[in-house]
Chains A and B, each alone.
Chain A
Amino acid sequence: MHVPDGFLDAPTSVAAGAIAVAGLALCLRRARAELDERAAPLAGLVAAFVFAAQMLNFPVVAGTSGHLLGGALAAIVVGPWTGAVCVAVVLLVQSLLFADGGLTALGVNIVDMSLVTVLVGYLLFRGLALLLPRSPASVVGASFVAAAVSVPVASLAFVGFYAVGGTTDVPLGTVVPAVLGVHVLIGIGEGLITALVVGSVLTVRPDLVHGAHSLLPAVRLEPAAVT
């Protein structure tokens, strides 16, 4: 759910915008290193994929459905820097073209859903991947935890902004459990979908899962025997 205009006061929105710009500038510089000059076409197509994936509704229980947010998934499959840039571009398009998420709230939305989600998701994923045995099952398990935790943590980042510059007077004691409760549930769904998608990509094109590169056998080049 994207924060609309008017939810946070103007100074907080501007400050969040500054954080988002600084964070994205760093991500952009590193994404260039991650993808070299392929950055633009690949990141553009991955962003289009994230956008399309968010339109895919997954049934939860009779009648209700959820959709993928894709922050952790993007970080795991294309790397954290490119992933953060892709999600930020998706948020920009949603805000400008689809009026989904306020223009003044774009900074807050980018910090929460791109920077924090990707940072938390990727750090957890790498940490778990180091601890667990090297196997595809570990990658899938680590993806689940990373995505499941990244969503409630991102919602806490939003609560942080709300505490600083929220325009409504709902006491924090009411906001935190409500927001956290909802997002723990959303997070479980996100984790499940992310893990299953990563698992499927892993079986078809394991080389496309950035976070599983350490699993692949190193390619050894040997001179062909000349007969």
Chain B
Amino acid sequence: MRPAAVSSRLYVERDSLVHRLPAQCKLLAVFGFVLAVVSTPREQFWAFGVYAGLLAAVALAATVPAPTIARRALVETPFIAFAALLPFMVPGEQVRLLGVGLSQPGLLGAWNILAKATLGVVAAVLLAATTRPEALVAGLARLRLPSLVVQILSLMVRYLDVVVAEQARMRIARESRGFVARDVRQLGVLTRSAAALFVRSYERGERVHLAMLSRGYAGAMPAPHSPRPEAPQWLISMTVPAAAGAVAVLAWAVS
């Protein structure tokens, strides 16, 4: 059974240096880090070891437990399956491993995707584990995301749990009437549920809009309260992407 609150499951409540950093600093740091990872030549295996070490240091500083990170990193499973096929699909020089012919460029390609995707996923998991969703939205607003997008985003994040919980209630209602989705013949019931969920979400949107109007909404929300980050906070946040950038440059230089 899935707990109702989707977004609050992501945040790991702690009081650490990483948790206290402003969201906009962490957003830029993660983006810079991932960009450095993606642009590193794949043959420089050591560089990816350093990147993993950087992430491990952040996880340690944030005291986010490793099993939590591992569990959440499972979203990339479909791509692991894809990467596993590459050694068989890519033409090129063959190496024999346990009697099976594998292509060398295919192995490198699989390594490239696995290493970079995993580093990207773990970085994003750490961001979500140390930053509340509302703080992330406020951070994006600070990074000059257009105000309409910020409003849509913040309302989506705010009502995500409500809509998902509504869906869970509909599922319980279906199941308590003996419904089991076995094959395509049950599609009609599920799509009618989805349609009902859409109508309810839309009508809730209309009600929310009226409620906002009655509280004086005129197209703009009051700016979310987030203090301007101080220089030391920027400095701390930027150490990880700066280190990653240096590693990427070094990896290019020696390759």
Contacts and interface: CB of A to CB of B under 8 A. Distances in A.
Contacts of B155: 40-41, 43-45, 48
B212 interface: yes
B187 to A, nearest CB: 6
B35 interface: yes
B133 interface: yes
B115 to A, nearest CB: 7
Contacts of B113: 4, 6-7, 167-168
Interface in B41-75: 42, 72-73, 75
A62 B196 CA distance: 26
Q: Most chain-A Cβ atoms within 10 A of its Cβ — which of B76, B92, B124, B156?
A: B156
A7 to B, nearest CB: 6
B136 A96 contact: yes
Interface string A191-213: 01100111111001100100000
Main secondary structure of the interface of A (DSSP, over half): helix
Q: Most chain-A Cβ atoms within 10 A of its Cβ — which of B7, B37, B120?
A: B120
Interface residues of A, number: 71
Contacts of A34: none
A60 interface: yes
B191 to A, nearest CB: 4
A92 interface: yes
A171 B7 CA distance: 40
- Chain B's interface size range is 35 or more
B163 A52 contact: yes
B242 interface: no
A33 B204 CA distance: 21
A104 interface: yes
A10 B38 contact: yes
Interface in A51-70: 51-53, 55-62, 68
Interface stretch (B146-154, B222-230, B231-239): B146-154
B16 interface: no
Contacts of B208: 41, 44-45
Given A41-B212, A98-B128, A168-B109, A1 B187 contact: no
A53 B146 contact: no
A77 B206 contact: no
A47 interface: yes
Contacts of B31: 103-104
A89 B152 contact: yes
A56 B186 CA distance: 13
A93 B218 CA distance: 26
B156 A99 contact: no
Given A5-B120, A53-B194, A167-B42, A98 B152 contact: no
A61 B78 CA distance: 19
Nearest to A36: B219
A166 B80 CA distance: 17
B142 interface: no
B117 A7 contact: yes
A46 B201 contact: yes
B109 A103 contact: no
A24 to B, nearest CB: 8
Nearest to B191: A196
B214 to A, nearest CB: 13
Interface in A1-59: 1, 4-7, 9-10, 13, 24-25, 28, 31-32, 37-49, 51-53, 55-59
B198 A77 contact: yes
Nearest to A205: B199
A204 B199 contact: yes
Contacts of A168: 86, 90, 106, 109-110, 112-113
B12 interface: no
A174 B181 contact: no
A96 B127 contact: yes
Interface of B: 7, 10, 27, 30-31, 34-35, 37-39, 42, 72-73, 75-76, 78-79, 86, 89-92, 105-106, 109-110, 112-113, 115-117, 119-125, 127-128, 133, 136, 146, 148-149, 151-160, 162-164, 166-167, 181-184, 186-188, 190-199, 201-202, 204-206, 208-209, 212, 217-219, 221
